[in-house]
Amino acid sequence: MRSGTKHALSVCPVEVTVSVVGGSWKLTIVQKLLRGALRFGELRRAVGDVTERVLTRQLRELEADGLVHREVFAEVPPRVEYSLTPLGESARPLVDLMEAWGRNWVQATGAAAEAGPQARPLE
Amino acid sequence: MRSGTKHALSVCPVEVTVSVVGGSWKLTIVQKLLRGALRFGELRRAVGDVTERVLTRQLRELEADGLVHREVFAEVPPRVEYSLTPLGESARPLVDLMEAWGRNWVQATGAAAEAGPQARPLE
């Protein structure tokens, strides 16, 4: 399998993980696809306020990195479905643990009380 | 405990986790501090090619988000140490799992063969 992006050998595996799934929408995309294959429009609605351009780019990177499979069905009009590869499926425990940790963090810090409309963007 | 940043209630917990520890150097900082308290200079050398400005900002955010404790010891010159709070320590399983997943991803994709000097920056 070809890697779509360069992830340094010298970078520690934690940083590799951040690089592969840490992009702003990637974990959310993987999380939605863990429930099953979705068409682009379905995925976009499931993910929320992501632009078409950003979602397309994130999906391409996830595909290049071996996590997402894109399949075109020969129908009229053609149906395009996105699903997780086995490597994408392997992120399930990670997504689950991040969900649990995020819940605990919100509870521990009381962040809910002053929650804004949007999480801080990544740098 | 006051939350230093706003993390939306409406955002799923996975996104909260990405927001709190997903910043480019944060997981690496947490990973280094999991081994014990460090002074700024030690931490900077441990983390690698991070600028002073960026490390300072990331530490402040981690402190505001309740993960990092900053302690000033009354010595001449004053010694400043950074350590993890219990909430910061709670990220250990997450860091461990991300390390394992990153290793597996590199192995599965053969990314090592074409690794560049730097992981892709987050968006």
pLDDT for B93: 94
Per-chain mean pLDDT for chain A:
82
Beta bridge partners of A79: A73
| ipTM of the complex in this document | 0.79
pLDDT over 90 (residue A72): yes
- DSSP per position, chain A: ---SS---SSS-HHHHHHHHH-STTHHHHHHHHTT--EEHHHHHHHH-S--HHHHHHHHHHHHHTTSEEEEEE--SSPEEEEEE-HHHHTTHHHHHHHHHHHHHHHHHHTGGGG--SSPPPP-
Q: Which helix (H) or strand (E) holds B39?
A: strand B38-39
For residues B85 and B52, give the distance between their C-alpha atoms in angstroms, rounded to a whole number. 22
For residues A63 and B102, give the distance between their C-alpha atoms in angstroms, rounded to a whole number. 16
pLDDT over 90 (residue A115): no
Q: Report the b/e string of B53-71 with b at 16+ CB within 10 A.
A: ebbeebbebbbebbbbbee
The answer to whether B99 contacts A13, with C-beta atoms less than 8 Å apart, is: yes
For residues A47 and A9, give the distance between their C-alpha atoms in angstroms, rounded to a whole number. 32
**Percent residues over pLDDT 70 in chain A:** 79
The reply to whether CATH 3.40.50.20 applies to domain A21-108 is no
Beta A38-39 vs A79-84: how paired, if at all? antiparallel
Q: Which residues of B touch A103 (CB under 8 A)?
A: 13, 16
pLDDT for B112: 52
pLDDT for B11: 64
The answer to whether B17 contacts A91, with C-beta atoms less than 8 Å apart, is: no
User: Does residue A16 belong to the interface with chain B, where contact is any CB pair within 8 Å?
Assistant: yes
Q: B52 to chain A nearest CA, in Å?
A: 16
Domain ranges of chain A: 21-108
| Neighbour tally for B4: CB within 10 Å | 18
Q: Which residues of B touch A47 (CB under 8 A)?
A: none
Q: Which fold has domain B13-108?
A: Arc Repressor Mutant, subunit A (1.10.10)
| Max avg pLDDT among A27-31, A69-73, A76-80, B5-9 | A69-73
Q: B75 to chain A nearest CA, in Å?
A: 32
The answer to whether A13 contacts B98, with C-beta atoms less than 8 Å apart, is: yes
Q: Between residues A1 and A15, which one has the greater pLDDT?
A: A15
What confidence tier does A11 reach under pLDDT thresholds 50, 70, 90?
low
Chain A, window 90-109: residues with a beta carbon less than 8 angstroms from a chain B beta carbon = 90-91, 93-95, 97-106, 108-109
pLDDT over 50 (residue A80): yes
Reading chain B (123 residues) residue by residue, the pLDDT tens digits are 344 455 544 567 877 787 777 766 888 899 999 999 999 999 999 988 889 999 999 999 999 999 999 999 999 988 999 999 999 999 999 999 988 998 999 889 886 545 433 344 444
pLDDT over 60 (residue A106): yes
